[in-house]
Amino acid sequence: MANAAGSGGKSAARLKRRNETKMIMRQPIMLVAILAVIVLLLLFVVYPLVKVLLFSLTDETGAFSLATAAEIFSTSRYLKTFGRTMLLGVIVAVIATFIGYVFAYTITRTNVPCKGFLKTIATLPILSPPFILCLSIIFLFGRQGLITKSLLGIEGNDVYGMGSLIVVQVLSFFPIAYMTLSGILSSIDASVEDAACNMGASRWHTFWTVTFPLSLPGIISGCLLVFIQSLEDFSNPATIGGDFTTLSVEVYQIITGSYDMQKGSVLALLMLVPTMVAYLLNKYWVNKKSFVTVTGKPTQARKLIDEAHIKWPLFIFCMLVAAVIILFYGTVVFGSFVTTWGYNYALTLDQYGRALQQGWDSLRNSIVLGLVAALIGGLLGMVIAYITAKRDYYGKRFIEVSSVLMFAVPGTVLGIAYILAFNTGFLVLTGTATILVIVFVFRNMPVAIESGTTTLLQIDNSIEEASTILGAGSGYSFRRISLPMLRNAFFSGLVYSFVKAITAVSAIIFLVSPRWDLVTSKIYTLFDQAKYSQAAAFVTMMVIILLVFIGIFNGLINLLLAPRSRVPKGAGIHEKTEETK
């Protein structure tokens, strides 16, 4: 009986898919949109990854060969670098997830003051440009550090290495764990925990027997996401890692120093394996292991913890982390106005003048290309979300998987893949602005797709069906009904795409050219030249630019996508009826 029911369900699903596919064939706009998306994904997602895979497994003659891979696996240096990278990822994932959990629990479970401030602090590192925490570490604890030399009198302190890298990555990535865990903790039914307390369990016992097990999927998911970010990180290890080399830096040094593209490609694939495994575990295993019981029944309001011995230690811990973040960010801003850090602390605007004089072109390029990529990626993400959430057809699974695949691909791997795919052949894009826009679009688009899909699944299909019955086409219905409802998702995708495009390092480090240099590569050059105050000026300007454009995006989206009423205010009943007609 069970097998028969299962077969019947699969047959019904196939019949529905076949019928919807036939219906789409009769809708030119929808058909063109689906075919265009498939072509774009094949060309700019699948093709580059296949290209780097084939290049890594062939020799100079094009024959299949594992000689380079065997050389890498037999070299202790590369194996040691791989082990260091994995160890760093695990340590950062555990510490960052712990801090993220404490923040999420404090904000969602306790009655502490300044929750808005803590939420802002917990999301600030996501919007900040790279290098900012590395700069603050150097300014505070380096050889001319404000704390080490000026306050403690320590001369020649070496701030580079694994310790500083752990601090920087933890502060950079704990917001990812916080956002994942805050959603999980907010979804747990308050009556479940209250029932344990009413039966005599202490807060501590309730936490370990109820709250912690129910939030375990979020903990694992947060760990995996932070682990992926740590493995993909290039800017922090490249600037503050010192002798502690990670795989991303090793790949960059091999390609730019030794000009060995094949060895770099094999190492890049070695970095791709753990990130893909972690991503697939999070997406297809952890997300299905939810232990949170959320029912449709009305529940009582959550009673926040007000016991002093619980809320104040948590609040103090969060405020200490917040103080460190404010100290680090404030130090960079202050350093951008200093004449010479460690020697002359006189305030000046010279650093901004030099930065604009030498790097205005790169800053302008980043803004322009970031805007173009954000608009294209945001709109394309909404289209993909719509054709995957609202339609069922043959080829849908390919679009779902390939459209979010780039999120799990390390930026270094992506840069190599695009060089191999578009440096020669039928489509030469290397050195152009187009390749940078394409990388930004397909690298950052998964966030817009996920946000759009989540929103669309909450919209009743009958709304669009009513529009279709009244004679509207699928394009008109999408533009006038679905897109305005996707306003928040579109804003999230637009902001994320713009921020990541402006702050991208690893994905574009191989793709920038003298004509299309970007601000992040300019800052990386300033680090190599030890021009830290000038780099701080660039970083501060980037923060201001990001905040300004986020405000502009919000205003424009609210203006353009706000639901409109064609009925003028004060119109009578007859006028409304005519307008409705």
If one compares 57 and 369, the residue with the highest pLDDT of the two is: 369
What is the rounded CA–CA span in Å between residue 386 and residue 77? 47
What is the rounded CA–CA span in Å between residue 374 and residue 525? 26
Q: What is the mean pLDDT of residues 48-62?
A: 86
CA distance readout (Å), 19 to 24, 26, 283: 9, 11, 29
Kindly indicate the confidence band of residue 472, based on its pLDDT and cuts at 50, 70 and 90: low
Amino acid identity, position 329: Y
What is the rounded CA–CA span in Å between residue 444 and residue 501? 8
Note the pLDDT of residue 117: 92
Average pLDDT, the chain: 82
Note the pLDDT of residue 127: 77
Q: Is residue 380 pLDDT above 50, yes or no? A: yes
Q: Is residue 22 pLDDT above 70, yes or no? A: no
What is the rounded CA–CA span in Å between residue 119 and residue 212? 21
Note the pLDDT of residue 471: 66
Instruction: Tell me the three state secondary structure of residue 414.
Output: helix
Note the pLDDT of residue 293: 46
What is the rounded CA–CA span in Å between residue 106 and residue 346? 41
Note the pLDDT of residue 369: 94
Q: Find how far residue 494's CA is from the centre of its chain.
A: 12
Q: Find how far residue 154's CA is from the centre of its chain.
A: 38
What is the rounded CA–CA span in Å between residue 320 and residue 99? 11
Q: What is the pLDDT of residues 240-258, one digit of tens each?
A: 988 898 999 999 888 888 7
Note the pLDDT of residue 479: 64
What are the DSSP calls for 180-248, one per residue?
HHHHHHHHS-HHHHHHHHHTT--HHHHIIIIIHHHHHHHHHHHHHHHHHHHHH--HHHHHH-TT---HH
| Cα angle 560-566-570, degrees, rounded to a multiple of 5 | 120
Sign (positive or negative) of CA dihedral 123, 129, 130, 132: negative
Note the pLDDT of residue 75: 87
The β-bridge partners of 64 are: 58
Nearest alpha carbon to residue 106 among 313, 320, 324? 313
What is the rounded CA–CA span in Å between residue 250 and residue 306? 50
The β-bridge partners of 549 are: none
Produce one character per residue of 93-111: b if its CB has 16 or more CB atoms within 10 Å, e if not: bebbbbbbbbbbbbbbbbe
Note the pLDDT of residue 243: 87
Placement of tokens 């608009």 in the chain: 375
Q: What is the pLDDT of residues 408-441, one digit of tens each?
A: 888 888 999 999 999 988 889 988 999 999 999 9
Q: What is the pLDDT of residues 176-189, one digit of tens each?
A: 889 888 877 877 76
Q: What is the mean pLDDT of residues 5-32?
A: 63
If one compares 397 and 6, the residue with the highest pLDDT of the two is: 397
Q: What percent of the chain has pLDDT over 90?
A: 26
Q: Which helix (H) or strand (E) holds 338?
A: strand 338-340
Q: Of the ranges 16-30, 72-86, 188-202, 375-389, which one carries the lowest mean pLDDT score?
A: 16-30
Note the pLDDT of residue 473: 63
Kindly indicate the confidence band of residue 478, based on its pLDDT and cuts at 50, 70 and 90: low
If one compares 145 and 167, the residue with the highest pLDDT of the two is: 167
Q: What is the mean pLDDT of residues 99-118?
A: 91
The phi, psi pair for 339, rounded to 5°, reads -65, -60
Residue 284, classified by CB atoms within 10 Å of its CB into exposed (0-12), middle (13-18) or buried (19+), is exposed
Nearest alpha carbon to residue 553 among 404, 367, 406, 385? 367
Q: Is residue 318 pLDDT above 90, yes or no? A: yes
Q: Of the ranges 55-64, 357-366, 398-407, 554-563, which one carries the lowest mean pLDDT score?
A: 554-563
Q: What is the mean pLDDT of residues 74-94?
A: 93
Q: Is residue 547 pLDDT above 50, yes or no? A: yes
Q: Cβ contacts of residue 529 below 8 Å, gap of 6+?
A: none
Placement of tokens 């688009």 in the chain: 445
Sign (positive or negative) of CA dihedral 138, 142, 148, 153: negative
If one compares 316 and 466, the residue with the highest pLDDT of the two is: 316
What is the rounded CA–CA span in Å between residue 289 and residue 297? 22
If one compares 187 and 143, the residue with the highest pLDDT of the two is: 143
The phi, psi pair for 116, rounded to 5°, reads -60, -40
Nearest alpha carbon to residue 91 among 251, 269, 246? 246
Note the pLDDT of residue 10: 58
Q: What is the mean pLDDT of residues 334-351?
A: 88
Q: Find how far residue 546's CA is from the centre of its chain.
A: 16
Do 412 and 509 form a contact (C-beta atoms < 8 A)? Answer: yes
What is the rounded CA–CA span in Å between residue 538 and residue 175? 24
Q: What is the mean pLDDT of residues 529-554?
A: 88
| Cα angle 452-105-113, degrees, rounded to a multiple of 5 | 105
Do 503 and 543 form a contact (C-beta atoms < 8 A)? Answer: no
If one compares 469 and 572, the residue with the highest pLDDT of the two is: 469
Q: Cβ contacts of residue 543 below 8 Å, gap of 6+?
A: 127, 128, 129, 132
What is the rounded CA–CA span in Å between residue 470 and residue 418? 46
Q: Cβ contacts of residue 394 below 8 Å, gap of 6+?
A: 17, 18, 21
Q: What is the mean pLDDT of residues 212-234?
A: 87
What is the rounded CA–CA span in Å between residue 166 and residue 168? 6
Q: Is residue 100 pLDDT above 60, yes or no? A: yes
